[in-house]
């Protein structure tokens, strides 16, 4: 492992004012997104859609540090035959790859999940590196509900994340460590805080046991935020203050950067929360975005599967990328949204 090089990549992924585009939806997940815009889930449509984002020069060059790809996409070629990975590189952005194989039920823990994909990872990682991937992603999912999460689920998922991270670093790939506490429930922000704190502390303990170099990783956490079905809605300032407090309590300063998932927040909420955190400032790590839905909802809608809408989709993508780039510097203002 060359830690100096891993660190360089991790620093570039979370460089000030830039963030990550999570375009790594599995074929099943992108089907849900395409269903919403009445677009058929074919390989060509998936390619055309992702190609239009990767070719959006203004967004990619100025706002997007890296792109997380799904396995299909890393091998795909653009319509003109250029590998999609090459287009990303030409835009000055770093290609990355989702390497987990989704979730399976966790035995003896009803309603809880464990992320699969460790077994073949040592063989797959060198191939992804050769294809151009310089970072990877593994998502663990922790749900909040009556009697859950269990310690079994927290511990087992944290252990798998650490095993994945160690394997990535051994293959000169920066791991994005993503322990996602879901915001699907009716819990309030304080319950989310308490669970996320436990999850992050366990995750960093397991990373230590697996000898993962924190300087060569990026954390992708959820924010401290109330569940979508909660009656108690928190203000932007409360989410920002509690998330910063939580991260300061759990994430060592050796981690170069933290890139949040959006997790089902609206586009503007995800931007406003990130901005408010960066306005607090004086943080030991760079705080940025690694958004999927919060970057892509608008371009997807504008595109709606039609070649004639590519320019409109690229405009929508550029706008969201710019708003989040400003938020990553604490320079976003709500009225910038109206001007769009």
Point out which residues bind ligand 13P (CB under 6 A): 22, 139, 178, 261-263, 291-294
Q: Say what angle helices 43-54 and 293-303 make with each other, to 10 degrees.
A: 110
Closest contact distance (angstroms) between CB of 323 and ligand 13P is: 14
Closest contact distance (angstroms) between CB of 16 and ligand 13P is: 20
Which residues, 6 or more positions from 309, have their beta carbon under 8 angstroms from its beta carbon? Answer: 302, 303
Catalytic site residue 220? yes
Which residues, 6 or more positions from 303, have their beta carbon under 8 angstroms from its beta carbon? Answer: 37, 39, 49, 52, 309, 310, 312, 313
Closest contact distance (angstroms) between CB of 252 and ligand 13P is: 23
Q: Which residues share a beta bridge with 66? A: 20, 94
Which whole-number Å values give the CA distances from 102 to 19, 31, 73, in the listed order? 23, 15, 17
Specify the residue, 77 or 101, whose C-beta has the smaller distance to ligand 13P.
Answer: 101
Could you list the beta-strand ranges (E) of the chain. 19-23, 64-69, 94-98, 103-105, 113-115, 135-142, 174-181, 218-219, 257-260, 286-291
Catalytic site residue 178? yes
Specify the residue, 208 or 243, whose C-beta has the smaller distance to ligand 13P.
Answer: 243
Specify the residue, 96 or 132, whose C-beta has the smaller distance to ligand 13P.
Answer: 96
Specify the residue, 66 or 132, whose C-beta has the smaller distance to ligand 13P.
Answer: 66
Among the listed residues 18, 137, 220, 242, the single catalytic one is 220
Closest contact distance (angstroms) between CB of 175 and ligand 13P is: 14
Among the listed residues 178, 180, 242, 322, the single catalytic one is 178
The token pair that represents 68 in the structure block: 């997380």
Alpha-carbon distance of 286 to 260, in angstroms, equals: 11
DSSP 308: G
Closest contact distance (angstroms) between CB of 25 and ligand 13P is: 8
Specify the residue, 175 or 311, whose C-beta has the smaller distance to ligand 13P.
Answer: 175
Q: Which residue is nearest to ligand 13P (CB)?
A: 292
Catalogue the active-site residues: 178, 220
């Amino acid at each position: 492992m060359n830690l100096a090089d891993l660190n360089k990549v991790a620093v570039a992924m979370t460089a000030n004012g830039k963030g990550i585009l999570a375009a790594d939806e599995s074929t099943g997940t992108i089907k849900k997104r395409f269903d919403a815009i009445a677009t058929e889930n074919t390989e060509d449509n998936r390619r055309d859609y992702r190609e239009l984002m990767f070719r959006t020069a203004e967004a990619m060059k100025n706002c997007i540090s890296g792109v997380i790809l799904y396995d299909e996409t890393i091998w795909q070629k653009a319509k003109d035959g250029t590998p999609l990975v090459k287009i990303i590189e030409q835009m000055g952005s770093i290609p990355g790859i989702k390497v987990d194989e989704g979730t399976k039920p966790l035995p003896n823990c009803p309603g809880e999940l464990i992320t699969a994909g460790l077994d073949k990872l040592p063989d797959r990682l060198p191939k992804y590196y050769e294809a151009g991937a310089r970072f990877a992603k593994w998502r663990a999912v922790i749900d909040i509900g009556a009697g859950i999460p269990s310690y079994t689920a927290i511990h087992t998922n944290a252990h798998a994340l650490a095993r994945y991270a160690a394997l990535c670093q051994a293959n000169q790939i920066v791991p994005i460590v993503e322990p996602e506490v879901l915001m699907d429930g009716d819990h309030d922000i304080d319950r989310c805080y308490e669970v996320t704190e436990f999850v992050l502390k366990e995750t960093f303990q397991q990373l230590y046991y697996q000898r993962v170099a924190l300087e060569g990783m990026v954390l992708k956490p959820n924010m401290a935020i109330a569940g979508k079905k909660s009656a108690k809605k928190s203000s932007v300032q409360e989410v920002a203050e509690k998330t910063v407090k939580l991260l300061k309590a759990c994430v060592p300063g050796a981690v170069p950067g933290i890139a949040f998932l959006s997790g089902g927040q609206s586009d503007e909420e995800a931007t406003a929360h990130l901005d408010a955190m960066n306005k607090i400032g004086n943080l030991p790590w760079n705080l940025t975005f690694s958004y999927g839905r919060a970057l892509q909802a608008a371009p997807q809608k504008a595109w709606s599967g039609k070649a004639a809408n590519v320019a409109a989709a690229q405009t929508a993508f550029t706008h969201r990328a710019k708003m989040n780039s400003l938020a990553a510097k604490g320079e976003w203002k709500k009225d910038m949204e109206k001007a769009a």
